Amino acid sequence: MRIAMGVGVGFGIIASFWAGCAEKGQEAASRDLSAYSEVAQAEPGADAGTASGSAGETTPGTSASGSEYITKQFDLNFDQVPDVYKYYVLEPDPDKGGKRHRLVKRELDLNGDGRIDVITVYSPQGEIENESFDLDFDGRIDLVDHYVKGQVVQKSVDLAFDERPDMFKYYAKGALLRREKDRNNDGRIDYWEYYENGQLDRIGADLDGDGKVDSWKTIERKAEQEQSKGEPANQMLQPEAPAGNAAPAAPPAAPAAPAKPAPPTPAPAPAKK
- Decide if pLDDT at 257 tops 60: no
- Decide if pLDDT at 252 tops 80: no
Do 145 and 176 share a domain, yes or no?
no
Task: Print the domain residue range for 32.
Answer: 2-163
**Gap between the Cα atoms of 69 and 95, Å rounded:** 20
Domain count, the chain: 2
Let me know if residue 263 belongs to a domain: no
67-76 per-position pLDDT tens digit? 788 999 999 8
Do 78 and 195 share a domain, yes or no?
no
Q: Is 17:26 a contact under the CB 8 Å cutoff?
A: no
Percent of the chain with pLDDT over 90: 42
Let me know if residue 272 belongs to a domain: no
Among residues 163, 198, 223, the one where a domain terminates is: 163
**Closest to 255 measured CA to CA, from 201, 191, 195:** 191
Do 6 and 50 share a domain, yes or no?
yes
Let me know if residue 270 belongs to a domain: no
- Decide if pLDDT at 268 tops 50: no
Do 122 and 13 share a domain, yes or no?
yes
Do 136 and 88 share a domain, yes or no?
yes
Do 119 and 41 share a domain, yes or no?
yes
Report in angstroms the alpha-carbon separations of 81 from 45, 57, 110.
Answer: 16, 11, 12
Percent of the chain with pLDDT over 70: 59
Do 214 and 198 share a domain, yes or no?
yes
- Decide if pLDDT at 228 tops 50: no
Do 50 and 175 share a domain, yes or no?
no
Let me know if residue 8 belongs to a domain: yes
53-102 per-position pLDDT tens digit? 455 567 887 777 777 889 999 998 888 889 999 999 999 888 888 888 99
Do 149 and 213 share a domain, yes or no?
no
**Gap between the Cα atoms of 123 and 148, Å rounded:** 10
Do 184 and 138 share a domain, yes or no?
no
Binned at pLDDT 50, 70 and 90, residue 273 comes out as very low
**Gap between the Cα atoms of 34 and 6, Å rounded:** 17
**The pLDDT value given to residue 161:** 86
169-215 per-position pLDDT tens digit? 999 999 999 999 999 999 999 999 999 998 999 999 999 999 899 99
Do 156 and 229 share a domain, yes or no?
no
Let me know if residue 273 belongs to a domain: no
- Decide if pLDDT at 152 tops 90: yes
**The pLDDT value given to residue 167:** 97
**Gap between the Cα atoms of 3 and 42, Å rounded:** 10
Q: Is 82:73 a contact under the CB 8 Å cutoff?
A: yes
Do 121 and 212 share a domain, yes or no?
no
